[in-house]
Amino acid sequence: MTVHSAAEKAHRPHSPPRSKSLQAKELRFISELGRSLLFTVHPKKVASRVASAIQRSVDADICAFVAELENIGIVSCAFDRKGEIDPRLFPKTAFEHWLALLPPQIGYSEENPEEFLLTGLEHEIEYVSPLHINGEIKGAIVAGFVSAGDLNETKGPLIDAATQMAAMSVNLSAHYEAAINDSINQAKDENWRFTEAILDSLPVSLYVVDRDFRIVTWNRHREIGAQGIPRDAAIGRNVFSVLSRYPEGRVREEFERAFATGKIERIEQQTVAEDGSTKHWLVSKVPMVDDDTGSVTHVITVGEDVTARVEAMHAVGRAEKLAAVGRLAAGVVHEINNPLATISACAEALEERVADGEFSDSSAAADLAEYLGLIKSEAFRCKSITTGLLDFSRLRTGDRHLIDVTEILRSSANLISHQKRGDGIEIKIEIDPDLPLVNADSGQLQQAIIALATNAIDAMPKGGILTFRALAQKNRIAIEVADTGIGIRPEDLPKIFEPFFTTKEVGDGTGLGLAVCYGIITDHGGRVSVRSNVDRGTTFTILLPVK
């Protein structure tokens, strides 16, 4: 680029003499431009106003503004006689090359059009006025004229004066814009931290996935617990790889359904923890719909632990069933016991006669003895059922007084060891020292513990370890009866305290033992719960309030 000095400019043949009226016009232009920039706070608007005003004032065929501002980037615009045009006619590479020159060439050029900064215009001359910001050249205003005679000696100084004003204004607006952006970013960060704190404070597990099934939000409750996953290990990853322990097909169907329908869906699930305890969850899939497009952009998954609610509902259901069985027992047990007693007495009398040989001449004597034995055993089995039913109809007040749980557990273990019910059963007793006393009927409490222990032995046909455990907790005592047996299937756990429900073979149990145990503990103001792992064992826990 050929640069012309101020002296050369003064002696150009096509430059008319400077006049006073022209000076007044220039001053008025600078004044008006200054007022228009006074409240312009955006760098892009400053650039547009300056470039447009200069183009009109000097009647340039084109006027372009370009600057590289700190924290803002490149700001550029261009105007011709018809209005704003594509600023890309000022190539970035040419601008960077011009800035790299030390110092950048300034002034006007007309001898080497291939070195013009402006492209796409058949012009003979262009004037370059640098933008000085904080002592450095950060950009330029370039005016292009199709005819060299259109650039006279008054237009260069006018462009320079406007450029100086533009440099100051764009610098201030850039600082203001940066401050606004910093404030906005800070507000966004604070708002996000506040939102994240709210999500972390919610007593639910929550995470959000986008349409590519990538996790974008993962709250604190998804991090804690036995099935928790750290947030850093989840954010940005595919949800199916993070939730690999769940069936991918089912989870994918749930998300695809939420994205497709845009409807909230609630799903009940249950999980079994490592200790065998069952957790119940209410999982909600909540679609996020874009108001402009109406499409689902994200799906929020909320998991609420409803174990306490489900267990309470089960407890109410069990209590209702126990009450119903009790009312039934009160009405019919005595009526059933009388014919059962008659049947048993007749069977025993006939057995005695068979034993005395009264039917020895009959070829059916052996069959008669067998049938009588079956009649008597089944009658006694019916008697045991009615006895169990009576336990529901009786008010279990008993002789309640302060008792030592340690003595009850040791006595129960001793009775179980003498029953010789199973082979290869090892009995362990683990009791915390100085346990507080409980107000209970010792006979009823021992009945409940022995019922649990008997079931535990039946669950260990190949032998195992039966553990009696007692430990003090806040305002209560926990009594545990644990085995290392076959365990209980998850689908059977909600039903094990129901009357007549049993997993044993026909004739091996009435299904009333655990129901009676549940009734005894409930009448004592306590709770009984169970946790179990199939093939690993079962633990029943009795919680009793301390005196």
Cβ within 8 Å of residue 406, ≥6 positions away: 431, 435, 470
Residue 42 reports pLDDT greater than 90: no
Whether cis (ω within 30° of 0) applies to the bond prior to 103 is yes
pTM above 0.85, yes or no: no
Residue 485 confidence class, pLDDT cut points 50, 70, 90: very high
The residue type found at 111 is E
For the chain, percent of residues with pLDDT exceeding 90:
20
For position 544, what pLDDT does the model report? 93
Q: DSSP string covering 97-120, please?
A: HHHHSSSPP-EEE-S-GGG-S--S
What is residue 222's predicted lDDT score, i.e. its pLDDT?
Answer: 83
The stretch 251-271 carries a mean pLDDT of 88
Q: Where are the domains of the chain?
A: 6-179, 204-305, 310-393, 400-545
pLDDT of residue 36: 82
Give CA separation, 141 vs 42, 48, 64, 388, in Å.
18, 11, 6, 102
pLDDT for the residue 91 = 62
Please work out, in degrees rounded to the nearest 5, the angle formed at the alpha carbon of residue 147 by the alpha carbons of 144 and 150: 80
Res 10: pLDDT: 35
Instruction: State which amino acid sits at residue 360.
Output: S
pLDDT surpasses 90 at 384: no
**Lowest-pLDDT choice from 290-304, 384-398, 399-413, 500-514:** 384-398
Mean pLDDT of 339-349: 84
Q: What is the pLDDT of residues 83-118, one digit of tens each?
A: 988 766 666 666 777 777 645 555 555 656 667 777
The whole-number pLDDT of residue 13 equals 37
Please give the backbone phi and psi of residue 248, each rounded to the nearest 5 degrees, phi first. -60, -40
DSSP state of 87: G
- At 190-214, the pLDDT tens digits run 877 887 788 788 888 899 999 999 9
According to the model, what pLDDT value does residue 410 have?
A: 92
Residue-wise pLDDT for 124-135, tens only, equals: 888 888 888 888
Q: What is the CATH number of domain 400-545?
A: 3.30.565.10
CB 215 within 8 A of CB 207: yes
Residue 444 has pLDDT above 90, yes or no: no
Q: Residue 59 above 60 pLDDT? A: yes
- Domain 6-179 in CATH 3.40.50.2300? The answer is no
E strand or H helix that includes residue 310: helix 307-356
d(CA 540, CA 452): 7
Q: How far apart are CA 473 and CA 488, in angstroms?
A: 26
pLDDT for the residue 400:
85
Looking at residue 55, what is its pLDDT?
A: 92
431 in Cβ contact with 406 (< 8 Å): yes
Nearest of 90, 127, 93, 96 to residue 1 by alpha carbon: 127
More confident residue, 216 or 186: 216
Give pLDDT, residue 507: 56
Measured CA to CA, the distance from residue 96 to residue 7 in angstroms comes to 29
Which residues does 1 contact at the CB level (< 8 Å), separation at least 6? 105, 109, 112, 115, 116
Three-class SS of 127-138? EEEEEEECCEEE
Query: At residue 143, what are phi and psi to the nearest 5 degrees?
Result: -115, 130
Half-sphere exposure of 224 (CA within 13 A, CB side): 9
Both structure tokens of 43: 């760098």
Distances (CA, A) of 411 to 123, 398, 416: 112, 19, 9
Q: Kind and range of the H or E element at 384?
A: helix 365-393
Share of residues in the chain with pLDDT > 70 (%): 82
Give residue 137's pLDDT.
86
Quick check: do 6-179 and 400-545 share a fold? Answer: no
What is the per-residue pLDDT for 467? 95
Give the full edge-to-edge strand order of the sheet including 125-133.
83-85, 73-80, 62-69, 136-145, 125-133, 107-109
Region 515-531: mean pLDDT is 87
Report the range of poorest mean pLDDT among 28-42, 477-491, 496-510: 496-510
Token digits of residue 497: 């305290």
> 204-305 belongs to which homologous superfamily?
PAS domain (3.30.450.20)
What are the start-end ranges of the H helices in 128-247? 155-201, 239-242
Question: Looking at the predicted structure, is the pLDDT value of residue 394 above 80?
Answer: no
Q: Is the pLDDT reported for residue 296 higher than 60?
A: yes
Highest mean pLDDT among 2-6, 353-357, 415-419, 531-535: 531-535
How would residue 286 be classed by pLDDT, with cut points 50, 70 and 90?
Answer: very high
Q: Which of 207-211, 245-249, 518-522, 532-536 has the lowest mean pLDDT?
A: 245-249
Q: For residue 82, what is the DSSP state?
A: T
